[in-house]
Amino acid sequence: MAEIRRLPEALVNRIAAGEVVERPAAALKELVENAIDAGATRIAIALSEGGLARIEVTDDGCGMTAAEMALALERHATSKLPDEAIEQVSTLGFRGEALPSIASVARFTLESRVRAADAGWRRVVDHGALVDEGPAALPPGTRVRVEHLFAKVPARRKFLRTARSEYAACLDVVKRLAMARPDVGFTLDHDAEGRGGRTVLSLQPGQDLADRVAQVVARELKDNGVGIALERDGMTLGGIAGLPTYNRGVADHQYLFVNGRPVKDRLLVGAVRGAYSDMLARDRHAVLALFLELPAEDVDVNVHPAKTEVRFRDAQGVRGFIVSGLRRSLATGDRRSAQAPDAAAMGKWTAEPAPALASIFAGRDWSAAPTSVREATQPYRAHGDVMASPQGRAEEAERLPEQAEDFPLGIARGQVAQTYIVAEAADGLVLVDQHAAHERLVLERLKAAGAGEATARPQALLIPDVVEMDEVDCDRLEGAAEKLGAMGLAIERFGPAAMLVRSLPHALAKANPGKLLRDIADDLAHHGEALLLGEKLDLVLATMACHGSVRAGRTLSVAEMNALLREMEATPRSGQCNHGRPTWVKLRMEDVEKLFGRH
């Protein structure tokens, strides 16, 4: 048997680097977090080849002396834990592993100067070996340069992705940290030394949170989102949440923060999904930035060296707070709809008339005046195959009431294609999809009438079904049995690796018990919460609402249209249908005037 020995310090650092520095984005995250912890007000970041060739971070923080720089490059040396109370950590970094780990797998140059010093100091470490040190000229603060990451560790280098992919990961890291600290200015340059170099981000310090989030995520989020500001039991929730109609096909625009720390936590992701469950289709995802603040002792940030995972003392309480807080905030903008007009559709409004329309005047001698109005209109009738008969109807227009501002969706003027209601509001033209709008109204009525409880009513099985599963999945299901029973799914443990199903929700009486339980077990493993069953029941209600609502193609009277508009104005979440699509859009009067060159 080989002799047990202590590993060399350089090898220990390389092993640790495998957990801390798995790609350039991980190294960049650690360096920017150090700059923030140093009290920087401006942070400048420069990348080459997506961070594969060079990462440089410059800040105007407190700086370090030569002795502190030497100590900072030793493992588990940090200034961020003045005592041993790790549960009270308030800084982004605290483990003291990042700098020595990075320096062990790259050429690492550290330059720093404290404000009281006349000059700074530089240390250069090449893959764990100190190769140079001496005075350095730089303003107060710190500059760190990481070059040729994993150049001498080919086994790790070959697992890195392309420069484009690594750059995307670095950009995501900077965006998250920039949103976490709107009081700090950030600039990000990519390949600035090459011909294609450019400044990707330029964020000024002291920005408002909503402005910083909108600038980093998407500028239209500010107009298509609602602000969040809630507090309960020592927890606060802030940020901005996109309207359900403003969504994406992937969840890459969900930014979550706990005590100012960007995290990627399954419980928080599940809470967001639960909050939007009856407002978005399963393949669509919300756009938001949530900032959760809670006492430091109620959250463990020392779960993983990357510090992107957290663990809550009261996980269910946190989840419930986020779900209820999101729903309450969305209720303040629930009648709104994402109003970003489709560019292609708007282009049709300003397109030149089709050539076929000009041909209606062809073949007529216009030198003789018409003898009658009937004759004057004859050319239009002769070309009825070109100009199809209109499908809409109109009635005598009523005057807008004096209190028009009380009717945001306006007064109905007619119906187009037996599908869309045309209404005039005080500030523009409103188009309403009658089926999508009524679908949401019916769903809210069903919920208010207790239909949700009816769909969850237990339907006892004549013969209880035994479902064999992995023991771990059985443990998860047993822990959630009480909550599942409240939704009509009665289960109990049946030996170490099986579950007994005694009843199913009434709305899912024909479901396969085995498949349902396996899906719920997977849901519990991924989200820590049985979201799937509730979503299935919501889907039943949504289907009932869809089949019980006004269909496209049905002719409505003006009175019926106005009744639908008034109910939409009084119904929660009427701005989107049950699948996250908008129920109405508005073209403001100034936009209408632009179409005709009046503005």
Residue 388 lies in a domain: no
How far is C-alpha 555 from the geometric centre of its chain's CA atoms?
Answer: 39
* Side chain identity, residue 55: I
Considering the domain architecture, whether residues 96 and 159 belong to the same structural domain is answered as yes
CB 394 within 8 A of CB 413: yes
Among 287, 312, 331, residue at a domain's last position: 331
Considering the domain architecture, whether residues 571 and 434 belong to the same structural domain is answered as yes
| Burial bucket for residue 85 (CB in 10 Å: 0-12, 13-18, 19+) | exposed
Q: What pLDDT does residue 360 have?
A: 40
CB 339 within 8 A of CB 298: no
Considering the domain architecture, whether residues 195 and 220 belong to the same structural domain is answered as no
How far is C-alpha 446 from the geometric centre of its chain's CA atoms?
Answer: 29
Considering the domain architecture, whether residues 130 and 154 belong to the same structural domain is answered as yes
Residue 343 lies in a domain: no
Considering the domain architecture, whether residues 444 and 585 belong to the same structural domain is answered as yes
Q: Residue 128 and residue 132: Cα distance in Å, rounded?
A: 12
Among 331, 353, 371, residue at a domain's last position: 331
The domain that contains 180 carries what CATH number?
3.30.565.10
Residue 300 lies in a domain: yes
Q: How many CB atoms lie within 10 A of CB 180?
A: 23
Give the residue from 448, 446, 441, 459 showing the smallest Cα distance to 540: 446
Residue 364 lies in a domain: no
Q: What pLDDT does residue 352 have?
A: 45
Q: What pLDDT does residue 296 have?
A: 85
CB 306 within 8 A of CB 297: no
Residue 24 lies in a domain: yes
Any idea of the CA torsion for 415, 421, 423, 429, to the nearest 10 degrees?
A: -110
Q: What pLDDT does residue 110 have?
A: 95
Residue 406 lies in a domain: no
CB 562 within 8 A of CB 412: yes
261-263 and 254-258 strand pairing: antiparallel
Residue 513 lies in a domain: yes
Q: Residue 371 and residue 131: Cα distance in Å, rounded?
A: 102
Considering the domain architecture, whether residues 568 and 536 belong to the same structural domain is answered as yes
Q: Give, for 537, the enclosing helix (H) or strand (E).
A: helix 531-547
CB 573 within 8 A of CB 334: yes
Considering the domain architecture, whether residues 478 and 599 belong to the same structural domain is answered as yes
Q: What pLDDT does residue 35 have?
A: 94
The domain that contains 285 carries what CATH number?
3.30.230.10
The domain that contains 480 carries what CATH number?
3.30.1540.20
190 DSSP β-pair partners? 47, 198
Residue 282: domain span = 209-331
Among 186, 203, 220, residue at a domain's last position: 203
Q: Residue 424 and residue 368: Cα distance in Å, rounded?
A: 42
CB 544 within 8 A of CB 244: no
Residue 371 phi, psi dihedral angles, 5° rounding:
-85, -15
Considering the domain architecture, whether residues 119 and 221 belong to the same structural domain is answered as no
78 DSSP β-pair partners? none
Considering the domain architecture, whether residues 161 and 42 belong to the same structural domain is answered as yes
Q: What pLDDT does residue 383 have?
A: 42
Considering the domain architecture, whether residues 170 and 235 belong to the same structural domain is answered as no
Residue 362 lies in a domain: no
How is residue 223 written in tokens? Answer: 């107009």
Q: How far is CA 369 from CA 359, 362, 364, 366, 583, in A?
A: 20, 16, 11, 7, 49
Give the residue from 455, 504, 466 showing the smallest Cα distance to 484: 504
pLDDT tens string, the chain, 599 residues long: the values are 677 878 777 777 666 666 678 889 999 999 999 999 999 999 999 999 999 999 999 999 999 999 999 988 887 777 666 566 666 676 786 666 788 889 988 999 999 999 989 899 999 999 888 999 999 999 999 999 999 988 888 877 888 888 888 999 999 999 999 999 999 999 999 986 655 578 899 999 999 988 999 899 888 888 888 889 899 888 999 999 988 888 887 788 899 999 988 988 888 888 888 888 777 777 788 899 999 999 988 888 877 666 777 888 888 888 889 988 888 888 765 556 655 555 555 555 544 444 444 444 444 454 454 444 444 444 444 444 444 444 445 555 556 555 555 677 888 888 888 788 888 887 788 888 888 788 777 777 766 666 556 556 788 888 899 999 888 889 888 888 888 887 788 889 998 889 999 988 876 777 788 888 887 887 777 666 666 566 655 655 565 566 555 656 678 888 888 888 888 887 777 777 766 678 888 888 887 777 777 76
Q: What pLDDT does residue 95 have?
A: 66
How is residue 441 written in tokens? Answer: 């109204």
Q: What pLDDT does residue 257 have?
A: 93
Domain count, the chain: 3
Please work out, in degrees rounded to the nearest 5, the angle formed at the alpha carbon of residue 248 by the alpha carbons of 244 and 249: 125
Considering the domain architecture, whether residues 476 and 578 belong to the same structural domain is answered as yes
Q: Residue 355 and residue 349: Cα distance in Å, rounded?
A: 16
Considering the domain architecture, whether residues 273 and 418 belong to the same structural domain is answered as no
Contacts of 150 (CB under 8 A, 6+ apart): 105, 106, 156, 157, 160
CB 473 within 8 A of CB 467: no
